[in-house]
């Protein structure tokens, strides 16, 4: 059994696992380094962003990122989350 850190256990519960995937003979995805996920560009991987509507009123509030659901990661668009570029 693979021992996971609390960070990886949380990601695994949400469907993302930061461990490299076994891809066999297929070429590894260079966009995600064979992990299947990349950092969210909306929140830069933090999972939070400053709400611009409230900021315009002088209130600084960080809310959960809508792009990644607060995980900080999104599925790799190059490999579809598989970690390799081989056949589907």
2 in Cβ contact with 62 (< 8 Å): no
Q: Where are the domains of the chain?
A: 6-75
For 8-27, the pLDDT digits (tens) are: 444 444 555 556 556 567 78
Nearest 5°: the CA angle 69, 75, 77 is 130
For 26-57, the pLDDT digits (tens) are: 788 999 998 999 999 999 999 998 887 777 78
Give me the pLDDT at residue 38, please.
Answer: 96
Q: What are phi and psi of 54, to 5 degrees?
A: -70, -35
Distance (Å, whole) CA 43 – CA 40? 6
pLDDT at position 4 over 50? no
CATH number of this structure's domain 6-75, picked from the four choices 1.25.40, 2.60.40, 1.10.10, 2.10.230: 2.10.230
Q: Where are the alpha helices (DSSP H) in 6-74?
A: 6-13, 52-56
């Amino acid at each position: 059994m693979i021992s996971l850190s609390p960070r990886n256990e949380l990601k695994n519960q949400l469907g993302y696992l930061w461990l490299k995937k076994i891809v066999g003979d297929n070429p590894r995805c260079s966009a995600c380094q064979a992990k299947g996920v990349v950092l969210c560009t909306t929140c830069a991987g933090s999972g939070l962003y400053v709400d611009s509507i409230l900021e315009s009123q002088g209130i600084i509030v960080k809310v959960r990122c809508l792009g990644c659901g607060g995980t900080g990661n999104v599925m790799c668009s190059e490999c579809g989350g598989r970690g390799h570029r081989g056949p589907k």
